[in-house]
Amino acid sequence: MIYLDNAATTRVDEQVVQYMNRIMTENFYNPSALYLPAVNVSVMLNEARKNIANSIGAETDEIYFVSSGTEADNIALLRSRIKKNSRVIISETEHSAVYNSALELKQLGYDVVFAPVDRYGVVDINSFQKLLNDNTSLISIIHVNNETGSINNIDALSCTAKAFNKDILVHSDGVQAFGKMNINVRKLDIDMYSMSGHKIHAPKGVGALYIKKGVSVKPMLYGGGQEKNLRSSTENTSGIIGMSTAICSSTLNYTENENNMRKLLQYMAQFITKNIGNAIINTNINKAMPNIISIALRGIRGEVLMHSLEKHNIIIGIGSACSSKKLNNRIPNALGLSKEYRQGMIRISLDTDTSVEDIIYTCDKILIEYNNLAQYMR
């Protein structure tokens, strides 16, 4: 099986599984209990929090463990203490967790506006700046676009916002960036940053939210007071340890393999452009993350092509797994795709062990299946 949907989720690393198994079978104690074995688990939990903090240049007590990147995004937007009816700015191509949270804020009376992006999904700073006003309280801009792999200039956007008003809160969904590039939240000058485990070979069901010291956020869950009262619930210790274990090697692996993955995407972009004349590459390969490419094909449905490739033991994506079950033109529209391309988007996302042979084989099969489907094009 050639798996090319790593932006949706990744296989859990064997070392991560081993550590998690040890936690679940030997160190299974509730870290809130007072007996010694539980205290030892609490120490392990704090060490994991320190590892996550160090990976993004944060302080240990600025990391809050949650169940997912989606929950982290929801907390950042819906639980931040911002002025009622104030302006909230997000980009047009945010992940659905941010987009739908922003729509909820709009229902509550907030002035939600959308920063336009270019054809690759990168926020236009000049257009963004024009959206800032005296009533702006919160900004949320995705770090790496989960559809196209494009990287937003978060530090420039945050600098622009903070220069306008130092009290504006800046959040970034870093799910596709975390563990895949060097991140320093101090240099980015942001107040909140969302992370997820299952994109970096850790398990599903665990994530983290960086909250800058001094930023006030209302509790998401009430109960025993875990995570400094932000999210009461017995900690997912095995998942947290798994995420911590994964991050220790993830960034290094991606850095070592960045050039190789980028060359594979360049080959794919050139092959598709040469052999499918009407294809549109939605990713600026040389400036985006090295593991994601988005392609739009005219007159066919990306979902049909995806299923056609399965018989060749190839798995690709058609965009965010959180929204792919719904017919949604929001992202294609934001990228400026015309009507005949909107349903033809596919996303291919590599991992560090994706081979040249995998990509050559996949390109050949994409061409075969596209030509088969193109016969029915109207």
Pairing relation of β-strands 207-211 and 169-173? unpaired
Query: How many of the other CB atoms lie within 10 Å of CB of 312?
Result: 15
Residue 2 CA to residue 279 CA, distance in Å, equals 23
CA dist list (Å): 166 to 76, 189, 191, 318, 342? 18, 11, 11, 39, 39
Q: Is 4 helix (H, G, I), strand (E, B) or coil?
A: strand
Q: Residue 299: exposed, middle, or buried by beta-carbon count in 10 A (0-12, 13-18, 19+)?
A: middle
> Do 95 and 320 form a contact (C-beta atoms < 8 A)?
yes
Which run of H or E residues covers position 49? helix 36-56
> Do 346 and 295 form a contact (C-beta atoms < 8 A)?
yes
Query: How many of the other CB atoms lie within 10 Å of CB of 212?
Result: 17
CA dist list (Å): 11 to 177, 315, 351? 17, 13, 10
Whether 322 sits among the annotated catalytic residues: the reply is yes
Q: Tell me phi and psi for residue 370, to 5 degrees.
A: -65, -45
The catalytic site residues sit at: 322
